[in-house]
Structure 1
């Protein structure tokens, strides 16, 4: 078809024939764009399908490894207690070394809030909106912006203990209602949980230096 079009003497064609030829060329160009788009979308779908399958399998493997490691660490910690290798039953942090491999277990208590903190957060947001409306600077008021930023939640949807603690320091910037809301936050700060992290190390046989093994995209 393209050769036929190239061999056509446009000057000898009538107005209607030229219009028909132009329509044919435009349709072919449109069909070509559609074909390229469909090919791209098909390749994109295949590519993302493969990535998704591998990512989900990897996540399942990591989740399984974490569960296995936690159970094994619990069991080995019990053995260490019986053998006297931990100071007391409450010890949460220790290091186990064998040859050129080292496992470091670090435990700590994480402070948090109960349901009263959600109530306090709602009251504070309402308070700050009213404060912003009274302020000459409106939403640009730095005190309003700072307090709202400190109320942002983490990826788990929880209020950040350190950020809320900084809100306490702003009491002298606001009135008694603000101080009352801060008291509710402080009363809600009664929840604690144990967090445990694991760190893996390998020693270089040439210089004896320990290097952390970090199974992370950011570290590989």
Structure 2
């Protein structure tokens, strides 16, 4: 058990709650990409069965493994053919932004539900202390994880959504130059994220920011339902 605690990025006692939250977060994130791509005219993801909330079609086991031990990872990317869009630059930004924004909405919805349950006394009314602890741990995990995924995916480096948004927003000439060095940018990104010393300046600050956001919105919604 001690070995697992040292190996995993996330505390072992919270791992079941983390995995449940992760399944929801990753599934909704990838579904959002696929849904908006299809709505905007690209049926690629739909033809591959990706416009679904079935977690099995969205999971990448290497990405999940790395998330557990390194604090970052990925789901199976949704294929997008921007040539099918009526306005490729605008629609590509919408599709790319849909994933991170879905995590932001999940986090805020989690804060709203958690705040309501707390202020209405539904959690305190539970007779089983272990069940009360489980509810607290799940919502804490779910909310912070989704805020983190929102922030992490907006980093403007490949292969993240933030990079895809950046490439479409900058002038075409600049975007072409970015894409020409994309493979090297991915390597640099992985090295920065994977080297333990750098995590204190990359992954951990984002988790701290995600936690701060969760505190802010929980205070907001508990005050709303309490007053």
TM more than 0.5: no
TM-score by length of 2: 0.23
Look at both structures and tell me which one has the larger radius of gyration over its CA atoms. Answer: 1
Q: Which has the higher strand share?
A: 1
TM-score by length of 1: 0.23
